[in-house]
Structure 1
Amino acid sequence: MSLPGLQHSHESGTALEEALAGIASAMSDPSRARMLCALMDGRAWTATELSSVADISASTASAHLNRLLSHGLLVCVSQGRHRYYRLAGSDVAGLLENMMGVSMRGGRALATRTPVELRRARTCYDHLAGEIAVDIYEFMQREGWVTDEGSAVTEPGKRKLEALGVTLDPRTRRKPCCACLDWSERRFHLGGDAGASLLIAFEHKGWLRRTPGYREVTVTDEGKSALFRVFGVGA
């Protein structure tokens, strides 16, 4: 005879394990993995664009996208006659970023296998990643702009960010601020609403320029001067 509480616990555990296995299975196909990695640029892509990225037919891409949708990894947005796919949220992007870090373990081989452009500056869904982002985050920690563990922006930090034109959302439903592990650098960069807002501000100022369809980020000449002046970061 099993107690009701224990039975409920077992059923809940089984459901969780099955859901976890389903998500892992959905991500395990190389074509679906390529689609997910492409969507890490934070933009919404059409099925045709994603089929090109994965080098598969449109019909095959449609089946893969439906699989990813069914497991909550993607969302589909209809606009006019077109349907666009994007990651379901920053939590999915964080999962992918962490998996990239695990898959790229290997010490010295990392530097030669990771493209220089991606290592220097790229997007991590909706915030900045790469060497430059890591250096900026370390500056913010040293100067007390964020707490030691990176879970919050300090009051002095808020004033500094506001002076840079960074608008933080006090009612955000996501993490206001977090330390996001950078898969190529093995150090942290700024994530959460603060990280996303910082990237938006850099773009508006013309310090960074994003390449449509790619994660690489180009630092403009004005941006190089500004990042060194404000954060002591050489770009």
Structure 2
Amino acid sequence: MTAEPRLDIIGAALADSSRSRILCEMMDGRAFTNKELACAAKISAQTASVHLKQLQAAGLTSSIRSGRCVYHRIASEDVACVLEALAGLSPTDHLHRAKMPEANTLRARSCYNHIAGRLGVLITNRLVALGILRIQGEVVAIDTAGEAFFNKLEIDVPNLSTSKKPTVKLCLDWTERRHHISGPLATALMEKALKMNWLERHGGSRALAITTLGYEIFERDFGIVRNLIDGTD
């Protein structure tokens, strides 16, 4: 008997609009209670529990207990990147009609633990254009000059390296249909942006609001002007 990947299990887990909404809610990288996910999917808590069991059985989510509460989240960054890429296969006509707050999601959002949307793609493109990152196929490399750039942002690249995963890799952006960066370096960059108030989270949404300071930093340090981020160029 030939061993084959059980894509049918993944397909079955994704083949429900409520489960899709639950996964989308989790895609900002945070953990949620059953009640919070039920509210996001507009279903009962009991129904959400059934869906969460199927998602976890398929390896798409994981859960952890803290005190009296059980929290659910995307199983890993690899799962998040696959879901983001799969989202790119979905119809996009509705995106061109997006209004607030949907438009904010297109501008900048969290993809599990890194920056996605137009801002994420622009950051990636600028890092490549400046020679900070070098892309060969699907492999992304950063040299000492690139490390010096991130040192100025107080991000210590060598300390991000592990033997199990690359420091930086590519993730296909759902709305832009181009790559943004993921991996430990991208995670550190989003954490820095949130800590320094360049970006702010929006409750109940993956959207990341860009602050006035954030626009200044992205232009000063990355060379990305506001009209490009806002899509008004």
SS state of the match for residue 115, structure 2?
strand
- Tell me by how many angstroms 1:38 deviates: 0.4
1:164 aligns with 2:153: yes
Q: Distance in 1 between matches of 2:163 and 2:211?
A: 30
Aligned partner of 2:24 among 37, 49, 66: 37
Q: Distance in 1 between matches of 2:85 and 2:205?
A: 19
Structure 1 residues 172 and 117: alpha-carbon distance in aligned structure 2, compared to 1, 3 A threshold? farther
TM-score (norm 2): 0.89
Mapped contact 1:145–1:157 kept (Cα < 8 A): yes
Q: Rg bigger for which structure? A: 1
Q: Who is 1:212 aligned against?
A: 203
Aligned partner of 1:179 among 170, 175, 180: 170
- Tell me by how many angstroms 1:172 deviates: 6.0
Q: Distance in 2 between matches of 1:225 and 1:119?
A: 20
Structure 1 unmatched ranges of 5 or more: 1-6
Q: Distance in 2 between matches of 1:105 and 1:57?
A: 28
- Tell me by how many angstroms 1:104 deviates: 3.2
The number of residues matched between the two structures is 220
Mapped contact 1:206–1:222 kept (Cα < 8 A): yes
Q: Distance in 1 between matches of 2:95 and 2:19?
A: 23
Q: Who is 1:4 aligned against?
A: none
1:112 aligns with 2:101: no
Mapped contact 1:104–1:183 kept (Cα < 8 A): no
Q: Who is 2:79 aligned against?
A: 92
Aligned partner of 1:154 among 139, 143, 148: 143
Task: State, as a whole percentage, how many aligned pairs show the same letter.
Answer: 35
TM-score (norm 1): 0.88
- Tell me by how many angstroms 1:105 deviates: 4.7
- Tell me by how many angstroms 1:69 deviates: 0.9
Question: Relative to structure 2, which stretch is displaced further, 214-223 or 31-40?
Answer: 214-223
Aligned partner of 1:228 among 219, 226, 229: 219
1:74-130 C-alpha deviation (Å, 9 max, x unpaired): 110100000000000011111110111110356xx6422483111111111100011
Aligned partner of 1:143 among 123, 127, 130: 130
Whichever structure has more helix as a proportion of its residues is 1
CA RMSD of aligned residues (A): 1.6
